Structures are given as C-alpha cells and as structure tokens.
A and B are shown apart, each in its own frame.
Chain A
Amino acid sequence: MSFQDLIATLTGLWARRGAVVVQPYDMELGAGTMHPETFFRVLGKEPWKVAYVQPSRRPADGRYGENPNRLYKHHQLQLILKPAPEDIQDLYLESLAACGVRAAEHDVRFEEDNWASPMLGAWGVGWQVLLDGLEISQFTYFQQAGGVDLSPVSVEITYGLERLAMYIQDVGNVYDLEWASGVSYGAVRRPDEVQSSRYAFEAADVSGLSRGFDEAVAEGERLLNDGLVIPGYEQCLRASHLFNLLDARGAVSVSDRAGRILAVRRLATLAAARHLESGAA
C-alpha cells in the first residue's frame, strides 16, 4: 500500500463513517490539533466528526533529509469525533485492519500517554498506540482546550502516517517509502527537507522572526477583540510557528520562553472564549 493509498484508505473509511473530510489548513502548523477544525470544534456542545491530513512542521526535528526517521515536516491524519463513540477503540482497530494490519498477528497496545499543549491551553488523557513496539498513533480524550473544560468529550486520533506507512511497507528509511507507484517519498519530499532544515538552522533571520512573533501576538489580540475569531486565531498559529523556528535556532532565551508561550496561550484562550461567546459552537 503506497503512502497516498494509505491516506486515501483512511480518509475514505472515516468519510464512510460520517466524518466530514476537510483539507489541510493553509498555514504552517506544528500539529493537526492546531487546525481550527479541531481547536474550535471540540469546544461547545455541537456534535462533529471531521478527518483531514495535516502536514506538520517541527523545525527542530529537521535533519537535512539525512535521518531515516526524523523530518522537518511529517504528515498526520487527524480525526475528531465528538462525542467520543463508546466503541472508538474497536473502530480504530478496524481502520488498522483496513490498512492491512491484522491485529491477531501483531502486538497492538494502548499505553498511557497523556497529551498537553501549553500553547493551546489544552490537554487530554489517552494512549500512544504501539504496533509491535512502534508508536503509530496518538489517542486522546480531550479534557480542555483554550483553557475551557470540555463536555461532551471529544476523542482525537492522530495517525503518524510516515511511521504507519514504513511499517506497512516494511522499509527502514522514510525516504524509501513508496509515495505513489514507482515514486518514492524522497523524490517527492527530500528537497523540501533539505532546504527547510537549512532555513530553520542557518538562514532564518532571527530578528525578523522575533519581530514577526510580536506583531502576530499584537495583531491577534486586536482581531480577537474585534470579534474576528478565525483571523485572530490564525495569528496565534503564526506566532506558534515563529516560536518553533526561533526555538530551533536556539534563539529563545530562558527568560523569553515562558513569556512567549504564555503570549500564544493568551491568544488561544481568547479565541476559545470569543468563539463560545459568538454562539458558533
């Protein structure tokens, strides 16, 4: 099963189970959780099911396209089901079966791994799903987002697509994955990895990033106070990514770190509050 077949299989499956399939958010995100389709939809009472692939940037994990397991940008398939169905573990295991993983031949385990995002004011409890010792998914019952206690409780399943594909295709190097028939992951993505790593570790203009961060925070606050929730939240996403870039450059001083994380969290908290006030949830 190629990388693109894997994506098609999983999104098709969850679409048949009633999920709205949306596209990746058109901004730099660190994880699928930050997509507004997760952040806002888990707030409030309205039931919702959504699935999407999110290319997720972790500048500090960039390895110039040389490490077989680490990437500047990897792909998550993100699923949110609200409220969490009672047979969600079984549904998840069926989705693995659809990808060709026969559970009876493998050691599939749910091991405690709780999730928290200080920047989003969010946390949840759950597991990492291990397939023969390899972490292939995160499974989280959201408890709080944007500082707001959540009920109904949503479940988030994040499939690590590269890891899962490497397992299914039995390859040891991510760049050797078959993306499409006869086309490797490396052919599609390696230049991006090399250049993005160079950008993050060598070329990015630190003072520009730092200014950009401050601007995003100020702009976000202004927009959110004007009731423009999604544009305001986008500034929160921008600030978060700029923080990650600064961090990868080792340019976040100790005294800076806590303050910057707090600034992003304030935007996230404000966005959540404005969203709920607007009655959109």
Chain B
Amino acid sequence: MNGEPGNGTAELLVEIGCEEIPAGWLPDLVGGFASHLQDALERERLGPSRVRGLGGPRRLVARAASVAARQPDREETITGPPARIGGGPGAWTRAAAGFARKHGIGPEGLDAALSVVTTPKGEYVAIRRARPGRPASEVLPGILESALRALHFPKAMEWDARISGVVFPFGRPIRWIVFLFGGEVVPFRIDRLHGAPVTASDRSFGHRFRARGDAAPGAAFRVRSLAELESELERRFVCLDPEERARRLEAAIARREAEAGASRATSLPVTELADLVEWPGTVLGRYPESFLALPEEIRHAVLVHHQKYVPLAGAPAFVAATNLPDDPIGAVRRGSERVVLARLEDAQFFLDEDRRLPLAARRDRLAGVSFHRRLGAFDAKADRLEQLAKRIAPAVGADPAAAAEAAGLAKCDLVTGLVGEFASLQGVTGGLLLRDEGAPESVWRAVYDHYRPGGLDGDLPRTPEGVAVSLADSADSLAGLTLAGESASGGGDPFGLRRAAFSVIRLLADAPGVRLTPHRVLDLALEGYGEFGGPERSEAGNRLRAFFRDRLLHALSRGGRPQEARAVLAGRVLSLRVDDAHRRIEALAAARDGDDLAALAAAATRVRRILPPPPRDLPAVAPDRFSEPAEAALHAALGATRRQVEAAFAASEYPEGIAALARLRPAVDRFFDDVLVMVEDERVRRNRLALLAGLDGLFAEVGDLRELAGRAPGARPG
C-alpha cells in the first residue's frame, strides 16, 4: 500500500513535532510546508506529486501519495571551447583534447565523446553524457531541509539548533520528526549545541494527557503511512486535519448552543479556535445573571478578547473550546467560570468607577496621554478633531454641532479604567458612558462608532456624525504623523498609517451621502496642524498625497482591475470622489469584454505618440482643410460622441458614456487606415493634429485609455 521504494513511486510522509505553535500562524505554516515540499520535490525531479498539508498546534504534517523512487536519468551537456578553436569530428585540436582530458576522456575516445553543439552564443565543443538519477532516499533529506528553511514565521526563535552545520531558527523548538518514504525512515538530523540531536524516526506522539483503549497517554507509537498516523492519532485524541477539527468544533459549539437554549452572540473565527487545540472539546460555562446588566460589549470583550470564549446572546453563558474530549470532574467548566467571574467583576468595578466622572470632565486629562512625540498629547488631538469634524460634517450629511461635540469627546475614554483594562473597548466605552449620561444619540453613537471601519472591509459607522468623527480621526492621524516624519515602509507600519488610509477610503467610497474628494479631506486635515512642520510642510503634504494615492490605487484595483483603476485615476487620483471613481472603474471593466475598448486603447496610445507634448498650441479644427473623407467622418463622429459622453458622465451614467465612446471605434480605425497625419504640408498636418487632440481630450474624459492597451489580465484571484 505504501509502494516499493526500489522502483516506481511510494508515499512520502513528514511530521514535524513541535512545542505549541501559535494558532494564528498555523494555517500559513501548514499550507507553506506542503507547498515548499512540493516545490522542492519538483525541483529535484521526484514529482510532480501533490503534497497535502495537515497539522495542529504540536505538529506540521505533509504527505505526497506518490513520489518517484529515483530521479529520472538525464543527458547532460558540458560545453568546452568554441568550435573555431576546438575543431570538429576527426580533427579535434589540442584545446578540445585538453577539455576532454579534464573530464576523464583520453585521446582515443575523442570522436566517441565529443561533438559540436549550437548554443545561443555560437558553436561549441561539447561532451554529452548520461547522468543517472539518484535514489530518492539520497535526495529527500536535502528536500526536507530546504522546505523547513523556506517556512516563514512572524517571529522566529533561536533554539541552539543546526542543520548541516548551519544555524536553524524555527517558530518553536522541534521535538520529534517522522520522515518516511514507502514506510522506511529517511535519515535526517537536527543537531543541538547542547544535548541530543532531533533525529528522524517512525515514532510519533499523541495528545499529551489522554488516550483511548490500550494506547498510553504521551507515549510514542510507530507509524508507516499517513493512513496509520491519522488513525493512531485519532485513538490518541489528536485530530490531524485542521478543516475537520474546525467542523467538529463548530458542531460541538452548536450542541452547547442547543443545551443552553441560546445562540452565539458574535461570529468568532472558529478555525482559529480550532487551531488552539489538538482535540476540539467544549464546556458550557455560566456566570451570575446579574452581570447581564453589564453592557453586552463589555461582557464580550471579557469573554472574547481575554479568554477566547464564545459568548451566547442574551444568556449569562459562554462556550469555551477545550483540548479535551470531556470534563471528567467538571474542573474545566468550574475553572473557566471562575476566571470569567473575576474578569466580569473587574469590568463592573471599572465601569462603576468610570461612571463617577462625566466623560467630558476627562478631557483635560488627555494632556497626559501622548499621541505622538512631536505632535503632543490627545488633548490637542481632541481640539483638532472638534474643528475638523465640524468642517467635514456638511459634506457627509451630519449635523455639524453634534459631530463637533462627539469629536471633542471621542478620545476621553482613553483615560477610563475600562479602556486601560480592555483596549479593544476604545470608542465603545466612551459611547456607552455618554449614553448613560443621557447624551443625544447622534453624539454617543458617533463616539461609539468612531473606530469603524478600521480598514477596507470593516463595518461603517451607523450615523453621519459617526462618519464625520471617524473620517476626522483617521485623516488627522494621517496628516499629523506624515508631518511628523513618520511613514509606513515594507512590513512596518507602527502608527497604522495604512489602516487609517484604508478607513478613509472605505468611508469615502461607501458611507451613504458622502460628497468629499480625498484631496479635500487631506487638505482639511493638514490645515488642522496650522504651521506645524515649517519649511518641510509642503514636502510632507506631497508625501501624504503620494502615500494616499498608492493606497487608493491598491484599494480600487481589488477584484483584479488594476489597469482600469490606473486608467480612471490617471492624473486626477485625489480629485475624483472615491465612490465616483469606483463606479467609473466598474463601467470600464464591464466594457472590456468587447474588442472596441481594446482597439480604442491602442488608438489612444497611437494618438499620444503622434501628438507633440503640451502645450501644443494647435489651431481649432478647420473642416475646410479636410482632404480625406475619413477626416470629416471622424470629426463628425467625434462631435456627436462627445455630446453623448458628456451628457452620460454628467448624469453618472458611466456604462452609457463608455458605450458611446466604444461606438467611435470604426471612425477612428478608418482614420488611421486612410489618413497619414504627418504630411509635409504644415497647415494640413496641424489641422489633423488638432483633430487628434480633440480625440485625445475625449479619451481623457474617460481616463487614460493607454492603461488598457494589451490584453485584459485573466481573472486573477484577489
């Protein structure tokens, strides 16, 4: 069943047994390990073989069902001196003989061994010889090493390990390795500076504490294949398949919901919970009903963010995922309830304390919370937000007075005990305290929501005032931090500039009733900093706009339409409203199914090549100077099309406008077929250039069509 390693193919199985790998890393590691192994197998000509990745907190497993037992033989060609100095068959020179000798071929074997080959660089003397493939067992250790070294960890650790003498950092220490080809152990070793090496074997381990039947908890067992590993692990309370583990956890939580007669309050990523455990068990925990008086948001912060428990809606209960098939003495349930109770009591204590002082009275204390070293504290930020939100309000349909009031109070919860304890409750806490104080809904909701959307896909604030405060907050951070010289680069974005930019983009694109361009938002935010930045101010403004432009292009390119996004945004990225740009991009993308747009894109490129750079100083088109029928035809079509495009675009009917433009294609094609633009006669030439300049101007209404030249990229994912 495992195949014969001597010939043909056999199963390859690797299990890397680790100390607990962080759950958040696991999906990428499981997938990465399999794909790196597959790449290495193909590179070493033992594939193609699909490698399947499995694993859990204590193991990464990869398996290929059929790996070649031997690399195929191949012919290799070693090139020597150029043919002009090496001679040819029957007439090999000393240079050729020297080359042959170097490769172990004597004078008598020259004709048999040497030939002349043609390469891209010319003709060369060459030796062609068969190179036998190596057995898989010799090649596999190198393959595993390269796959392990290719794994990327968000934070790798030094653990005094070496492979082949070279330092080998990893995510967590490796404790055992199963490495089998056709059921036989492939030699592999990780050396340790101190203590015994980790050596490949056929011995694996199950759950630390539990096992079924005659299997002993924690003891090693032998395996020969993936099928055996899976079934033996199942007996030892390890579910190896992450998807299956998530399914079982999902079902287990559903059973607890039925038991409690309540359903999940928030959608927790069950897959991440499932990657915290080897065996997905659950307990149903309860807490005193009196805590239902605590706002739900706070209860959920306790349960979800601190304990990774699943809160149930409307019931004083939660489901905890456990790493156990059962809870034999009820200790797990009682323990989880005890922790939750202590946390809820803490939260209640902080809330009661925080309620003693009105939120507005905390504004002065913001002077003690730093926003940024060069930008001062949050009291100054609150002042700026107040002004900025007031100015933004009319353009987002918000009441300026309510938006300003909310903006001034939005950061006050940074000095509450609740936020000190539960950072995830920023905004929410302020909103809840204001609601308790009897603040108008437009104000408390705006404070509550002002951290939304927090990126391109988050939920939007629910009120226009919330939109105003959120926009003000993100735009103020972008402007100020850029003025202070901060930036996002590579993987690093310590101040969350990208997130802030994406939040602004999402708000401008999707919040109802927003009528603001990015340009305007950024300018207003920059104005909030007065003369801060001094002489570097305008340079910083340019950096801010360039950064935002990149983020906007990225955001609008999503769905596989980078060309359309570049076309629409060309030259006016920040002055188009984002929702408007989005509709234009959609229309352009829809129109790319036909050939007409591609043809016009080619024409646009051609037109730009012919036209002199601006300022062009061309005369108005004079129809009496047309000598070719195609000129007059294009002129007429251009006029009619321009009216249609302008009317459609003015009504934001972009598909209609673009369809009208597409209908121009025959006239454009005919013009380029029949008419030579760059003729000797200057007046004719300039008249024709003027006609093309008009065409160019019409194209520009739609965007820079040159971006669409070439074939549309295939539907690439993401």
Point out residues on A near B: beta carbons under 8 Å: 47, 67-69, 83-86, 89-90, 93, 103-112, 114, 125, 127, 131-134, 141, 143, 149-153, 167, 172, 250, 253-255, 257-258
CB-nearest residue of chain A to B340: A133
CA distance A150 to B349 in the complex (A): 42
**Contact yes or no, A151 B320, CB < 8 A:** no
Within 8 A of A (CB), among B166-180: 172-173, 175
CB-nearest residue of chain A to B23: A112
With A83-B160, A111-B276, A153-B157 given, name 6 new contacts (CB 8 A). Answer: A69-B346, A83-B194, A86-B195, A104-B217, A105-B328, A151-B158
Within 8 A of A (CB), among B297-339: 307, 309, 320, 322-324, 328-329, 331-332, 334-336, 338-339
With a cutoff of 8 Å between Cβ atoms, the chain B residues found around residue A250 in the complex are 368
29 A-B contact pairs sorted by A residue (CB < 8 Å)? A68-B345, A69-B342, A83-B160, A83-B194, A84-B159, A84-B173, A86-B195, A93-B208, A103-B209, A104-B209, A104-B328, A105-B329, A109-B276, A109-B323, A110-B20, A111-B20, A111-B23, A112-B24, A114-B155, A131-B335, A133-B332, A133-B340, A134-B335, A141-B157, A151-B160, A151-B193, A250-B368, A254-B369, A258-B373
Which single member of A68, A89, A90, A105 contacts B342 (CB below 8 Å)?
A68
CA distance A149 to B218 in the complex (A): 34
Digitize B366-386: 1 where CB-to-A-CB distance is under 8 Å, 0 elsewhere: 001110010001000000000
CB-nearest residue of chain B to A83: B194
**Contact yes or no, B158 A143, CB < 8 A:** yes
- Taking the complex as formed, is B341 at the interface, i.e. its CB lies under 8 A from any CB of chain A? yes
**Contact yes or no, A127 B20, CB < 8 A:** yes
- Taking the complex as formed, is B196 at the interface, i.e. its CB lies under 8 A from any CB of chain A? yes
With a cutoff of 8 Å between Cβ atoms, the chain A residues found around residue B307 in the complex are 133
CB-nearest residue of chain A to B328: A105
5 closest residue pairs by CB, A with B: A132-B335, A254-B370, A112-B22, A110-B20, A83-B194
**Contact yes or no, A254 B377, CB < 8 A:** yes
- Taking the complex as formed, is B210 at the interface, i.e. its CB lies under 8 A from any CB of chain A? yes
Given A105-B328, A151-B158, A152-B160: A89 and B19 interface contact (C-beta under 8 Å): yes
With a cutoff of 8 Å between Cβ atoms, the chain A residues found around residue B160 in the complex are 83, 151-153
Size class of the B contact interface (CB-based, 8 Å): 35 or more
With a cutoff of 8 Å between Cβ atoms, the chain B residues found around residue A68 in the complex are 342, 345
CB-nearest residue of chain B to A252: B368
With a cutoff of 8 Å between Cβ atoms, the chain A residues found around residue B158 in the complex are 143, 149-151, 153
CA distance A172 to B336 in the complex (A): 13
CB-nearest residue of chain A to B218: A90
CA distance A85 to B336 in the complex (A): 31
Instruction: Kindly provide the distance from the CB of B377 to the nearest chain A CB, expressed in whole angstroms.
Output: 6
With a cutoff of 8 Å between Cβ atoms, the chain B residues found around residue A107 in the complex are 322-324, 332, 335
Which single member of A84, A114, A132 contacts B332 (CB below 8 Å)?
A132
**Contact yes or no, B159 A141, CB < 8 A:** yes
CB-nearest residue of chain B to A70: B346
**Contact yes or no, B196 A86, CB < 8 A:** yes
CB-nearest residue of chain A to B369: A254
CA distance A250 to B415 in the complex (A): 11
With a cutoff of 8 Å between Cβ atoms, the chain A residues found around residue B329 in the complex are 105
CA distance A83 to B160 in the complex (A): 9
Point out residues on B near A: beta carbons under 8 Å: 19-20, 22-24, 155, 157-160, 172-173, 175, 192-196, 208-210, 217-218, 276-277, 307, 309, 320, 322-324, 328-329, 331-332, 334-336, 338-342, 345-346, 349, 368-370, 373, 377
CA distance A176 to B578 in the complex (A): 61
CB-nearest residue of chain B to A171: B338
With a cutoff of 8 Å between Cβ atoms, the chain A residues found around residue B276 in the complex are 109, 111
With a cutoff of 8 Å between Cβ atoms, the chain B residues found around residue A125 in the complex are 155, 157, 172
Instruction: Kindly provide the distance from the CB of A143 to the nearest chain B CB, expressed in whole angstroms.
Output: 6
Which single member of B23, B210, B335, B345 contacts A133 (CB below 8 Å)?
B335
Instruction: Kindly provide the distance from the CB of B609 to the nearest chain A CB, expressed in whole angstroms.
Output: 56
With a cutoff of 8 Å between Cβ atoms, the chain A residues found around residue B172 in the complex are 125
**Contact yes or no, A83 B195, CB < 8 A:** yes
CB-nearest residue of chain A to B372: A254
CA distance A255 to B335 in the complex (A): 42
CB-nearest residue of chain A to B195: A86
With a cutoff of 8 Å between Cβ atoms, the chain A residues found around residue B320 in the complex are 133
**Contact yes or no, A172 B338, CB < 8 A:** yes
**Contact yes or no, A106 B335, CB < 8 A:** yes
With a cutoff of 8 Å between Cβ atoms, the chain A residues found around residue B19 in the complex are 89, 110
Instruction: Kindly provide the distance from the CB of B263 to the nearest chain A CB, expressed in whole angstroms.
Output: 22
**Contact yes or no, A134 B339, CB < 8 A:** yes
With a cutoff of 8 Å between Cβ atoms, the chain A residues found around residue B155 in the complex are 114, 125
With a cutoff of 8 Å between Cβ atoms, the chain A residues found around residue B194 in the complex are 47, 83, 152
Instruction: Kindly provide the distance from the CB of B109 to the nearest chain A CB, expressed in whole angstroms.
Output: 54
CB-nearest residue of chain B to A47: B194
CB-nearest residue of chain B to A173: B342
Instruction: Kindly provide the distance from the CB of B161 to the nearest chain A CB, expressed in whole angstroms.
Output: 10
**Contact yes or no, A172 B323, CB < 8 A:** no
Instruction: Kindly provide the distance from the CB of B137 to the nearest chain A CB, expressed in whole angstroms.
Output: 27
CA distance A93 to B338 in the complex (A): 22
CA distance A253 to B159 in the complex (A): 39
Given A103-B209, A114-B155, A153-B160: A172 and B22 interface contact (C-beta under 8 Å): no
CA distance A255 to B329 in the complex (A): 53
CB-nearest residue of chain B to A149: B158
Instruction: Kindly provide the distance from the CB of A202 to the nearest chain B CB, expressed in whole angstroms.
Output: 17
Given A83-B160, A131-B335, A151-B193: A104 and B210 interface contact (C-beta under 8 Å): yes
CA distance A86 to B377 in the complex (A): 48
Instruction: Kindly provide the distance from the CB of B211 to the nearest chain A CB, expressed in whole angstroms.
Output: 10
Instruction: Kindly provide the distance from the CB of B170 to the nearest chain A CB, expressed in whole angstroms.
Output: 11
With a cutoff of 8 Å between Cβ atoms, the chain B residues found around residue A93 in the complex are 208
With a cutoff of 8 Å between Cβ atoms, the chain A residues found around residue B338 in the complex are 134, 172
Instruction: Kindly provide the distance from the CB of A100 to the nearest chain B CB, expressed in whole angstroms.
Output: 12
Given A104-B210, A110-B20, A254-B370: A133 and B339 interface contact (C-beta under 8 Å): yes
Given A68-B342, A141-B157, A149-B158: A167 and B210 interface contact (C-beta under 8 Å): no
